Amino acid sequence: MAFEELMLRINMLVTEMENKPEDAHELLEQLHMELQKLKALGQPLPEDLVKLENLLVEEFEASTRNRVH
């Protein structure tokens, strides 16, 4: 898969997260997979997307903890 195609898919995922926040966990998993594909191609990971992924992981973990308590 070409770098440009991966970046397009990542941009689509971010847009989808904005439009459907209720699906954030599934979209987080997809974002993670796309970033792994970039890494496998030897491409540098965009810092802003890595930060977004980390932020979403933190939010998901916090919401999971809140549901348990």
The confidence score (pLDDT) of residue 21 equals 65
**pLDDT score recorded for residue 68:** 63
Question: What are residue 5's phi and psi, to 5 degrees?
Answer: -65, -40
46 dihedral zone (left: phi>0; alpha: psi -120 to 50; beta): beta
Convert the pLDDT of each residue in 9-61 to its tens digit. Answer: 878 877 877 777 667 778 788 888 888 988 998 989 989 888 888 988 888 78
Q: Where are the beta strands (DSSP E) in 1-69?
A: none
pLDDT of residue 69: 57
User: Which residue is it, tokens 């997307």?
Assistant: 49
Query: Which structural domain range is residue 27 located in?
Result: 3-68
Q: What global pTM score does this model have?
A: 0.65
pLDDT of residue 42: 92
Please state the domain count of the chain. 1
